[in-house]
Structure 1
Amino acid sequence: MLRERLMWIAWPAFLMAAVLEMAVFAVLDPETIALFGQRLDWSRPAVYTVTFFIFWGTMMASSALTTLLAMSPFEVNRQAAEG
């Protein structure tokens, strides 16, 4: 059951992170990104990779919260008791 829930969280998050990555970098050039007023001296693939994992992590957190909120109180308490 845990493996299924993990896939309910990770797979949609992966797909939406890919869509968000394409949408963001369709309008933003990675070489123009500045962090705290300093330009990043990263290659384009490095910026694409790091931002993809940031987007994926954010989407996974959102999907995990949705999955948790969809559970009944009984399921939440049972999961907590099992470990």
Structure 2
Amino acid sequence: MDDPQLASSDDEVEHFEAGEPADVVPPMSPPVRRLAAVMWPAFLMAGVLEMLVFSLVDPGELHWLGGAAVEADHKAVYTVAFFAFWVVIALGSALTQLILVEPNVLNKPYRNHL
């Protein structure tokens, strides 16, 4: 090593100490887990449906069932439509979760009635 710039000493080397481990996140309870399993995919698919619908439909040309034009700001139409899509898709996913519940869980006798 003839080049003095390539030579290193212990003074030039930075030493890093490992920090404390990150807090462990406790697992979700089963009801919260089911809610997340319904709402998160429904949120994503509502966004996809929003893009698909409003790539073909202009919110300014929407009409109510009676024929009157929708008098709302474009952003309001986008927002209401997104939440409507989210609710409908979430209901479909929630019904799927309900169908997947095992019969022995649903038919378990209720013992705390007194």
Whether these two folds match at TM > 0.5 is: yes
Gapped runs of 5+ residues in structure 2? 1-29
Name the structure where strand makes up a greater proportion of residues.
1
Aligned residues: 81
Q: 1:16 aligns with which of 42, 45, 57?
A: 45
- Structure 1: distance between partners of 2:107 and 2:43: 28
Q: What pairs with 1:2-81 in structure 2 (closer than 5 Å)?
A: 2-36=31-65, 37-78=67-108, 81=110
RCO greater where, 1 or 2, for CA within 8 Å and sep 6 or more? 1
What is the alpha-carbon distance in structure 1 between the residues aligned to residue 93 and residue 32 of structure 2? 15
Structure ID, larger Rg: 2
Looking at structure 1, the residues matched to 60 and 107 of structure 2 have their Cα atoms a distance apart, in angstroms, of 48
Displaced runs of 4 or more, over 4 A: none
Greater helix percent: which structure? 1
TM-score (norm 1): 0.90
List per-residue Cα deviations over 1:21-70 (Å, max 9, x = no partner). Answer: 00000010000000121101100000000000100000000000001111
- TM-score, structure 2 normalization: 0.66
1:50 aligned partner, one-letter code: V
